[in-house]
Chain A
Amino acid sequence: MGKNRALKGKTIDKNREADKKIKKIEEEIKNKIDVLKTQRSGVLCYPFFLGGISMSPSLVDDIYEDIRDKCKDCDGRLDVILDSGGGDIDSAYNLALLLQRVGHRELNFIIPRWAKSAATLLACSGNCILMSPVAELGPVDPQITELNPLEGRLEQFSPLHIDSTLDLIRSEFENGNEKLAKGLLERLQFPLTLGSFRKSLDIGRQYLIRLLSSRMYPSPEDSQKVKEIANRLTEGYADHGFCIKIEEAKAIGLKVKELTGNELDIVWEIHKLNKERRKIEKQKEEEKVMDMIRNLPPGLIDKLPQDIQKKLRSIISEE
């Protein structure tokens, strides 16, 4: 009991220290954002830092609250520094329309490193995307996560994989491997919902067409180009993780510019500070979780499998 109290005191001290460091980093980030604003002719800059947090309907409420507060003095020109791995595509579309409303004169997205999946859709709502030399966009094919009831494991796939699976079965039939093809067909899960999964590609495409034709390519003459970009981003890549760098983004027709000079220096500094902040946050979290583990009632720990009990005890005794 005494040891636990001492450890708790140690954790509180470490947390205070971590909070101080985080505060200092956040102040530095805020200063860099102000410098960027001056550098970019006074355009208001909104930091959209999600890291590993995914966009979802309830996050829309929180971001809306935050934007109402931070962007109330916006003159209709808005830069958004975007760092996100994506999330729910409907929420991304909702946020895209919100940001377009705030940046009604001009909306630009600045990508230091990542704007993947639904975050790419968000970036496509701007007039222009400004990318660092290592910034990545990604395909917008929705990811479907399902629990495979036969094997009790989680499976994540793209609707595009449905086509490749059906192609594989078809080719086995055509090559005379009927038994193998039938076996594969029997293993298909949720056959009735496969069609609706496949159809979900259309949602991303429709959102992309709407967003691209509202800012990047508003002229009706560009409607074919918009469709081509939307098709490419939803169905044109073999894998959801495909790395779309600036050259590829330009090649598919997106309006992108490479960050250079002072702007690149500032944006990259912001990215590095963000990374440092995340590292300290993680260390703080590890302390918190160790505290939570120590406070688990013995009954709950005893119900855990032997190997986890052993592992936990060895971690706690190492402290």
Chain B
Amino acid sequence: MQAVRDLHDDRRLFDRVVARDESALGELYDRHSALIFGLVLRILRNRTDAEDVLQEVFVQVWTRAASYDAALGAPAAWMVRIARNRAIDRLRASRTRERAVGQIEAPMPVETPERGAARSETRHAVLRVLEALPADQRRLIEHAYFEGRTQSELAELFGLPLGTVKTRVRAGMLALRRGLAAHHQAVGVDHGRPD
């Protein structure tokens, strides 16, 4: 199982990072920088800012790898969470600046399953599951994930009652989990849940 091998390799690399092995950090970077950079770029829509955040993420991995808790998920998920939090903090700071000078935010780029020929199988599967969600659920989840919107902010942004937002987000996430589980079962993937 490739996913399980990847998980074990990442954990071994984290152990080496904790032991101050610089080459292990380099290997982690080679394995995950494209995933993290793609995510951060989608959030910030600016390559220079995204590169800054990417570097900060790996500096944090270098300084905080000892605090990683395997019980809370895969190392890659831990790094992705750090990256998303940092990118969203930066996005919120820039939104505040833009508001201060009265600029209008650019619309979120439209992501379609057709975009990009060399897309990973995992990405294909996630996009298929996302596409299968009702549009109102998908939109809420995407704004929450890629813009860090809280449920209250989503309610205000879309003019919906807070209870409706909570119900739709919960239903969307449940459907996503089910869809991904069905995909993993269909292709026989053990996607590396913590031991």
Is chain B found bound to chain A in the same assembly? no
